[in-house]
Amino acid sequence: MTATTRHDRAPQRVATDVVLRSALPVTVAAGVLTSVVVTVLHGWSAGLAGLVGTAVAAVFFASGLLVLGKVVTDARNPVLFMAVGLATYGGQVLLLLLVLVVARQVEGFDSVSAGVAVLVCVVVWQVAQVRAWRRARVPVYDDVTLPAGAPATPPAGPVDRTGEAR
């Protein structure tokens, strides 16, 4: 068997790995910190609910990123990548809302503390994810290859339909 290097894998798979490795620890740390603050302000049950909210948010968003990396295997189709990403994110948000609505019905569970922890985790995840995507340098368009003899820079001034400068 041969070892797979970073350059042998698809660029979006490498990018999803980079995003997961950078967004997940920051999100969990922010959620735990939020749970500690909630524990100090409202007691142990609120802190436990905050930890549950942190775990739910981290699992939801990490699993969505893993799904995105597995479903989109064509690095040359950024439209598919964006469509699957938006659909996955929309499904995650709806499922997260459903979990919070169900958790609100559980007696003895501090749903407000869990909701605050989830909200903090969502915001931190999104900021960390955007930062990681920017650093991952995922190509969003194909390189244009010019025909032989074509100028490297476009002509200055107005251009007619044939591409010639007027």
Cα dihedral angle (135, 139, 141, 143), rounded to 10 degrees? 120
63 Cβ neighbours under 8 A, 6+ residues apart: none
For position 140, what pLDDT does the model report?
59
Instruction: Return the higher-pLDDT residue of 136 and 88.
Output: 88
In total, the chain counts a number of residues equal to 166
68 Cβ neighbours under 8 A, 6+ residues apart: 12, 16, 81, 84, 85, 88
42 Cβ neighbours under 8 A, 6+ residues apart: 110, 113
Give pTM, 2 decimals: 0.67
Instruction: Return the higher-pLDDT residue of 105 and 39.
Output: 39
Helix axes 111-136, 44-71, angle to 10 degrees: 30
Quote the CA–CA distance of 91 and 65 in Å, as a whole number.
12
Quote the CA–CA distance of 20 and 35 in Å, as a whole number.
22
Coil, helix or strand for 43? coil
pLDDT one-digit tens code per residue, 43-87: 898 899 899 989 998 998 888 888 877 877 765 677 887 888 889
Percentage of the chain modeled with pLDDT above 90:
19
79 Cβ neighbours under 8 A, 6+ residues apart: none
